[in-house]
Amino acid sequence: MTIADEYDNAFGLKTIPESIDFKLGNSIIKIQGNNFKIDKFSYKGTEGVWKLMITNDIKDISNSDFETYKKIMLQTKAFLSEDGKVKSNRSDKYNKIIKPIYEAYKHIKELKQKIDERNKANKKKIVKEPKLAKANKKKIVKEPEPESESEPEPEPESESEPESVDSAEEVFGKGLHTIFLPSDPNELVKRHQILFSQMKAGNNGVFNEFHAITDQLIKYGLLDESFFPL
């Protein structure tokens, strides 16, 4: 098999006429020694990463090589065509490398969209509340108070319990299997994606935490109840 036969025409680096740089997706790739620089991000160019960047050969690719290549592809979106659809084919590289990356891309995109929608809805509620408070204040000012020479009786102290404040994180499980989850939905999404990648790589030891975060994202309305990617 020749080098031309091994070259990845669909997802490989593209030359730029009259330039020493390359193109991947819509991004310019600068080669610095053996490494790649894309905008302000630099990636270590190991033999395995170079193989993924230019050929269809996926033999002897380490998990570290795959994770670096995944970050590059998610940044450049080189798996998408100009109309926004994935450039699918029947190759082993697509099925075993590109397709899982594309699935992760869709997962991240969907969660970000739902978080944006939720934040916009919360922002609208916050904007409306001061108007109601202002209207109530006007009514209180206009109401005349009866004149009285006697000193006003002090209001009795409330014996009711103070309102509970949400803790910074939620706790699941007991004993040695306790799982601490951040209450910030953005942090939950980041952690969910990390665990998603680890389980794709075969690490089933994070299943309980992944499942707990999935439940939380469903409660927040960021995932459908039918979601379970593995």
pLDDT tens per residue across span 174-206: 444 567 777 777 788 888 888 887 877 777 787
- Residue 137 confidence (pLDDT): 46
The rounded distance, in Å, linking the Cα atoms of 16 and 26 is 12
Angle between helices 63-76 and 47-54 (to 10 degrees): 40
pLDDT digits (tens, 9 = 90+) for 69-83: 999 999 999 999 988
For residue 24, list its beta bridge partners: 27
The pTM for the full model equals: 0.55
Going by pLDDT thresholds of 50, 70 and 90, the confidence category of residue 225 is: low
User: Collapsing DSSP states into helix, strand and coil, what is residue 60?
Assistant: coil
SS3 82: coil
Number of other residues whose CB lies within 10 A of the CB of residue 195: 20
State the pairing for strand pair 35-38/27-32: antiparallel
Residue with tokens 């409306």: 128
Structure-model confidence comparison of residues 94 and 163, the more confident one: 94
Q: Which residue has the tokens 């803790």?
A: 167
Q: How far is CA 177 from CA 170, 180, 185, 206, 223, in A?
A: 14, 10, 22, 11, 25
Give 22's pLDDT tier (boundaries 50, 70, 90): very high
Tens digit of each residue's pLDDT (9 = 90 or more) over 38-64: 999 999 999 999 999 999 999 999 999
Residues 102-157: pLDDT tens digits?
999 999 888 888 888 888 887 766 555 444 444 444 444 455 555 555 555 555 55
